[in-house]
Amino acid sequence: MFQVLARDPSCQARRGLMELAHGTVETPIFMPVGTQGTVKTLHPDELELLGAQIILGNTYHLWLRPGPETIKEFGGLHKFATWDRPMLTDSGGFQVWSLAKLRKITEEGVRFQNHLDGSRMMLTPELSMEIQAALGSDIAMLFDECPPYPCERKYAETSLGLTTRWAKRCKDWIEKNQPTSGTGIQRHFGIVQGSIWADLREKSARELVELDFDGYAIGGVSVGEPEEEMMRAVEHSVPFLPENKPRYAMGLGTPPQILEMIGRGVDMFDCVMPTRVARHGQAFTLDGPIHIKNLAFERDPRPLCESSHPHVARFSRAYIRHLFRAGEILALRLLSFHNLHFFLRLAANAREAISEGKFPEFKESFIRRYTQS
Ligand SMILES: CNc1nc2cc3c(cc2[nH]1)N=C(N)NC3
């Protein structure tokens, strides 16, 4: 399922290939987030034009609406959304934590109030696996418990025990029901927890590796902790994860954070930032982010960035600023397209640099230029 093609000689960065049911994914990879079955404002053809290899969907959102029955009737999420490349679905653990109200965590699962209509619901490891099988994603995330940041050590310790026991229940469900779901074998990734404690991160990683999954995510990061805590959580987890399996840092991050993580041996990333900040007028450039509403761009004839995709580079900053201030939907689409292209190119350039054995130099020069302005 995963093959390491090249390792940078002076850091932990590696280049790899993931063979999935809907195609091959090169790593390091950035995965656009398509929470409700769409990457906001963009058509699947545009995602292909961007070179997106794999996108994310969310079990929690799609379970609540339109519901797994509808999606199953269309043959799974790929057919429903007409996206025929790989998809990864998150398990709902984090979304219940971050979105639902009145959460109650029990050994059985998480009881909560649906954030759409307030109805009481219960998500369990088995149900999360069942929903993801119905979605037919290429990679399904295990159902985990996400400790808030900050939290007491005791809480983190108890929580990671629950995450491991839930991982075992997911594994039992998979072995009993291995969903080929008509769209080929679905892979499953465990999620390492343990919050900010190195020994708990090690314990969580070892327990998940013992259960043996197709890949491993580092969870409990990008939940409001300081950047150095995020880096340490990865440094304390990666050494206990198998070299020959993909590693996925969930929910992050900025371009510099992604490069720092690649240098620490992380292969996969997802973040809503590129598309979310686009809807607020922020565009990423090699000289750092710009806010298109800024008066400075009123007559600026240049494209958003020198590395912009032709699909967007044909428009001046002045024109996009006008559209954005006029509330034109095209502004949101152009900025979303541009920002995703920026993140996808960052990953593609990182892959090249790793193959050339020059990743540290690439990382340093990118971050220097990106942060100097
Ligand atoms: C935006 N930050 C973020 N941190 C995350 C952490 C997790 C996650 C999603 C995240 N997104 N999904 C999980 N199932 N568990 C851990």
Question: pLDDT over 70 for what percent of the chain?
Answer: 99
pLDDT of residue 180: 63
Alpha carbon of 219 to ligand 1 centroid (Å)? 6
| Mutation pick for ligand 1 pocket among 131, 250, 269 (CB with most ligand atoms within 8 Å) | 250
pLDDT of residue 197: 97
270 part of the active site: yes
Give the containing element (helix H, strand E) for 317: helix 317-325
Q: Give the residue whose CA is nearest to atom 3 of ligand 1.
A: 251
Q: What pLDDT digit, counting tens, does each position of 107-131 carry?
A: 999 999 999 999 999 999 999 999 9
| Residue environment code for 26-61, b if the CB has 16+ CB neighbours within 10 A, otherwise e | bbbbbbbbbbebebbbbebebbeebebbbbbbbbbb
> In the structure, which protein residues have their CB atom closer than 6 angstroms to any atom of ligand 1?
90-91, 93-94, 141, 144, 146, 191, 219-223, 250-251
User: Rounded to 5 degrees, what angle do the CA atoms 341, 32, 91 make?
Assistant: 170
129 contact partners, CB below 8 Å, separation of at least 6 = 140, 143, 170, 173, 174, 177, 179
Looking at the predicted structure, is the pLDDT value of residue 373 above 80?
no
ipTM of predicted complex: 0.99
Q: What pLDDT digit, counting tens, does each position of 256-270 carry?
A: 999 999 999 999 999
> Full-prediction pTM beyond 0.95?
yes
Q: Say which of 90, 138, 214, 267 is annotated catalytic.
A: 90
Do 332 and 42 contact (CB within 8 A), yes or no?
A: no
| Mutation pick for ligand 1 pocket among 137, 146, 213, 227 (CB with most ligand atoms within 8 Å) | 146
Looking at the predicted structure, is the pLDDT value of residue 181 above 70?
no
Look up residue 294 and give its DSSP letter. S
pLDDT of residue 182: 64
Question: pLDDT over 90 for what percent of the chain?
Answer: 94
pLDDT of residue 93: 87
Looking at the predicted structure, is the pLDDT value of residue 234 above 90?
yes
Query: With bands split at pLDDT 50, 70 and 90, how would you rate the model's confidence at 84?
Result: very high
Residues 335-360 have a mean pLDDT of: 98
Residues 332-351 have a mean pLDDT of: 98
Do 274 and 32 contact (CB within 8 A), yes or no?
A: yes
90 part of the active site: yes
Query: With bands split at pLDDT 50, 70 and 90, how would you rate the model's confidence at 39?
Result: very high
Q: What pLDDT digit, counting tens, does each position of 41-83 carry?
A: 999 999 999 999 999 999 999 999 999 999 999 999 999 999 9
Average pLDDT over the chain, rounded to whole? 96
